[in-house]
Structure 1
Amino acid sequence: MTSYGGYARTGYGTQGGEDGGGFMSASQQGSQGGERKSNKDDALRPVTIKQLVDCKESYKDAELSIDGVPVTHVTLVGQVRSVTPATINNTYRLDDGTGIVEIKQWIDAENPDKSPRFAPDTYLRVFGHLRTFNGKLSVNASRMRPIEDFNEVNYHLLEATYVHLSLTKGAAAGGGQQQGGDGDGMFVDSGYGAGDARAVQARLAPCSRNAQAIFKFLLNAAGDGQHISQVSSFTGLSNKDIMSAAEELLNEGLVYTTEDDETWAILEM
């Protein structure tokens, strides 16, 4: 995903490779014949530690949720305050200025070099899965790496805030990301002139509600393209629905693929 700069060009690991963090794209999952249980299994959510500390658990289905959206996979940043080593795992207390959370790094006995231990005061990016045990929340890290540029910390906090506002204030103001079709308001501050806006709106009119919701998200998103994982996080749509809706937008000449077939950007008029 080019919009996240060098540190996350792989779309937070959803496109595989060494930066994968253990997360697979929809095409990779499909090739293994597995079915996704729900969209929460696909979306990787950038979060602050305070959001994790405050996240709610639905006792009906035991799903952890942030801003009312079920979440399992998260990425966060922070500074190591302490490390507690053990035979099978290392436990880190990570602090991002909003709170402190425990990170469990499980050690591969056959490949211990794949689980390097990080010293206190090191800034880390963590990819992991939320877990609760006896009422205590922690993150099981699938991948951890040191942060080399502090701008990544600032960017992450801003991105987590952006996602939070999109899911809360955006839904309250616009009736939800999936409503779509909100007329001229979609094009406010978009950079389109009046004529271009009308032309785009005419092309968008026959598209499905899902396609309109995705177009709205792409129109307001910063950067050179948005990966399917981010589209899913913001719209709440499944990867299957996103791919189908994206095909509509491609056929209408409204978007184009960037670095791969699961990353899209608005096609300027």
Structure 2
Amino acid sequence: MDGGYGYQNNSYGGGGGGGGGGFMPGETNSPSGGKGESNQTLRPVTVKQALDATQPYPEANYQIDSADASTICFVGQVRNISSQSTNVTYKIDDGTGEIEVKQWNDPSSADSMDTDEAKEGDDGGSGKPKIELNGYAKVYGKLKSFGNKRYVGAQVVRPLTNINELHVHLLEAAAVHLFFTRGPPGPKTEAGSGGAVGKGGEMSMGGGDYAAGNNKALPAMSPVARRVFNLLKNEPQSNEGLHMQLIAAKLNLPATEVSRAGDELLTAGLVFSTVDEMTWAILEY
């Protein structure tokens, strides 16, 4: 099941094809013939995900959310450009972290990089837009490390032609992260169609608790956190959510207990802060 995000057999865009996840043809990493790399993946990520990726053993593909990420793509602002005789090194910052990106001038020197596609990222004499300092760029490449320092061996580095690409990419990275950590989206469950609403406003089906409008079971939480969650889920409110003091008044609970419950829900990723740290709203998922 691809869950609607273009994932098939842990491969974003169907194992390197150009049709999945909104990628244009020619922008993905296709395995070179005869190399035996049929299980290629292309994954949209944030820089923090790239820096936090794990490697089960030397020479293995890096993994993010326990899934192979042999080739990654991300979008960020170019903070530095360093040109050498053999390569160009960029520092890319997407707001979650900063990472070095190394693009070889001689494609044959770049490990596991496809020659033709590497040439696509070279602007020399082609008339294409160039990568500019403090501009935004999209990077396709492989995670590597040297001397315990993580970097990306780039196959393609191209400037953004529309800033909306940045926003779309971050949404894609979030959607794929949720796919691997929480599973594909399921059908919505509504009261009166197989679900029952309990006295406290909790949705139950077969004894389980479910997040707002979703069949994903809620994590274990304290009784006070559950009461706060149910109030946030069912109380009429604006997009700003409810302030901690108002929640305490409505539940007739001490503000300190409500504050601890809010921290618990924030840590579990069930609510998020809005106008200030003490105003919370339900995170729909």
TM superposition score normalised by structure 1: 0.51
Distance 2:29 2:34 in 1: 16
Q: Give how far 1:19 is off.
A: 5.1
Q: Does 1:127 align with 2:122?
A: no
Q: Does 1:162 align with 2:175?
A: yes
Give the letter aligned to residue 108 of structure 1: D
The partner residue of 2:76 within 75, 78, 89 is: 78
Give the letter aligned to residue 153 of structure 1: L
Greater Rg over alpha carbons, structure: 2
Matched residue SS, 1:168: helix
Matched residue SS, 2:138: strand
Task: Answer whether contact 2:101 2:154 (CA < 8 A) is retained.
Answer: yes
Q: Give how far 1:169 is off.
A: 2.0
Task: Answer whether contact 1:13 1:21 (CA < 8 A) is retained.
Answer: no
Larger mean CA deviation between 72-81 and 127-136 belongs to 127-136
Q: Give how far 1:59 is off.
A: 3.0
Q: Give how far 1:24 is off.
A: 2.2
Q: Give how far 1:165 is off.
A: 0.9
Give the letter aligned to residue 115 of structure 1: D
Q: Does 1:14 align with 2:33?
A: no
Task: Answer whether contact 1:57 1:63 (CA < 8 A) is retained.
Answer: yes
Task: Answer whether contact 2:18 2:27 (CA < 8 A) is retained.
Answer: no
1:230 corresponds to which residue? none
Q: Give how far 1:65 is off.
A: 0.9
2:85 corresponds to which residue? 87
Distance 1:22 1:157 in 2: 17
Q: Give how far 1:118 is off.
A: 2.0
Aligned residues: 165
Give the letter aligned to residue 77 of structure 1: V
Which deviations, in whole Å up to 9, do the C-alpha atoms of 1:104-129 show, x marking residues without a partner? 01113899896236221110011111
Task: Answer whether contact 1:21 1:142 (CA < 8 A) is retained.
Answer: no
Q: Give how far 1:63 is off.
A: 3.4
Give the letter aligned to residue 67 of structure 1: D
Q: Does 1:48 align with 2:51?
A: no
Distance 1:125 1:138 in 2: 15
After TM superposition, list the pairs within 5 Å mapping 1:126-145 onto structure 2: 126-145=139-158
Task: Answer whether contact 2:121 2:155 (CA < 8 A) is retained.
Answer: no
Distance 1:124 1:59 in 2: 31
1:115 corresponds to which residue? 122
Give the letter aligned to residue 95 of structure 1: D
The partner residue of 1:63 within 61, 64, 81 is: 61
- Name the structure, 1 or 2, with higher relative contact order (CA <8 Å, separation 6+): 1
Closer/same/farther in 2, CA of residues 77 and 60 from structure 1, 3 Å limit: closer
1:188 corresponds to which residue? 188
The partner residue of 1:147 within 139, 148, 160 is: 160
Distance 1:90 1:82 in 2: 10
Q: Give how far 1:15 is off.
A: 3.8
Give the letter aligned to residue 43 of structure 1: T
Unaligned runs of 5+ residues in structure 2 are: 7-12, 109-117, 124-129, 195-285
CA RMSD of aligned residues (A): 3.8
Give the letter aligned to residue 188 of structure 1: K
Task: Answer whether contact 1:83 1:90 (CA < 8 A) is retained.
Answer: yes
Closer/same/farther in 2, CA of residues 46 and 169 from structure 1, 3 Å limit: same
Give the letter aligned to residue 68 of structure 2: P
